Amino acid sequence: MNIDFHTHVKISKRSSFNPEYFEEMMTEARASGLDAIALTEHFNTNCFMDVYDYLDAHCSYEHGYYEANGLKVFPGIEIDVKEVGHILFIGAREDIISIRQLLDYHTEKEHFIPFSKLLDIGETYEVLKIGAHPFRESTPLHQLPIEQLRRLDAFDLNGKDLYSYEQASYQEQLISFAEKVGLPIVGGSDTHQFLQYGSIMNELSFDCRTVAELKACIFSNDYHIHIADDLPLKVRSATLVKKYMKKYISEKNRATSFIS
């Protein structure tokens, strides 16, 4: 099973959820060779629950994932922590929604939850806990105490970062750090635009249906991370399209506001 552990279906935090865009994203994810994605939308994105309201109304859910255009969609969330850094939780629908509700007070920067308290929450649920892009300059995780980082399940080898930094040295840096902490590494594209799908994926040895099965596969090292030869082209193309889509949405919103 080919899965991407870090994806988004909104073009940005401030944009509204668009059902047509979602359906296009799912179709293109499948076409890129993916069998599954973890939908790790930002916890403080505009109208977070719109995504799950649509999934509940239009996609079947069983075992621990939604089925969307032949694609398994595992619920997830990306959370900012007070110390700076992003954490991915992936789990059952009810668990992800419950965690999001617990974070209502923490959506603004001045109220971001401390890393240790977020892990306390995560450890009360059956969720896969991934440290997102640990060496990204804007949101690093490597500066956090190692004994706290060991409470995570894995680190994220991020497609966006493989494009932004020198790929070989970045991988070497992350591998060395992950070995020091004692955590495995999984791949995530961090896409907001479908051209980025397939830039990096995890080839699992088993067809997983639940987060417990995903965790078991990772912990037993029954998977392989595949990085596309054309990753730079995929990420750059997606980044440029995202830039102009955000500009168009912003201009459209300003025009609507002016008319009103």
Average pLDDT over residues 126-138: 97
Q: Strands of the chain (E only): list them.
A: 2-7, 36-42, 60-62, 65-68, 71-80, 86-90, 128-132, 154-158, 185-188, 200-204, 223-227
Mean pLDDT, the chain, integer: 94
Alpha carbon distance 174, 227 (integer Å): 15
pLDDT digits (tens, 9 = 90+) for 27-83: 999 999 999 999 999 999 999 999 999 999 999 999 999 999 999 999 999 999 999
pLDDT digits (tens, 9 = 90+) for 179-196: 999 999 999 999 999 999
Alpha carbon distance 131, 111 (integer Å): 20
| Residue 192: DSSP 8-state | S
Q: Burial letters for 7-17: b for 16+ Cβ neighbours within 10 Å, e otherwise? A: bbbbbbeebeb
List of domains in the chain:
2-259 (3.20.20.140)
pLDDT digits (tens, 9 = 90+) for 86-126: 999 999 999 999 999 999 999 999 999 999 999 999 999 99
Higher pLDDT, 252 or 8: 8
Which pLDDT does position 247 carry in this prediction? 73
Which pLDDT does position 248 carry in this prediction? 62
Nearest to 177 by CA among 195, 155, 192, 160: 155
Report whether 216 contacts 232 (CB < 8 A): no
Residue 190 dihedral angles phi and psi, to the nearest 5°: 65, 35
% of the chain with per-residue pLDDT over 90: 91
Is the pLDDT reported for residue 240 higher than 70? yes
Which pLDDT does position 255 carry in this prediction? 56
Which pLDDT does position 256 carry in this prediction? 53
Nearest to 230 by CA among 203, 195, 259, 258: 195
Which pLDDT does position 244 carry in this prediction? 82
pLDDT digits (tens, 9 = 90+) for 143-163: 999 999 999 999 999 999 999
Which pLDDT does position 249 carry in this prediction? 64
**Other C-beta atoms lying within 10 Å of the C-beta of residue 31:** 13
Residues in the chain: 260
Nearest to 44 by CA among 86, 73, 93: 86
DSSP string, 1-47: -EEEEEE-SSSSSSSPP-HHHHHHHHHHHHHTT-SEEEEEEETTSTT
Alpha carbon distance 236, 231 (integer Å): 8
Residues with Cβ within 8 Å of residue 128, at least 6 apart in sequence: 5, 38, 88, 89, 90, 91, 153, 154, 211, 214, 215, 218
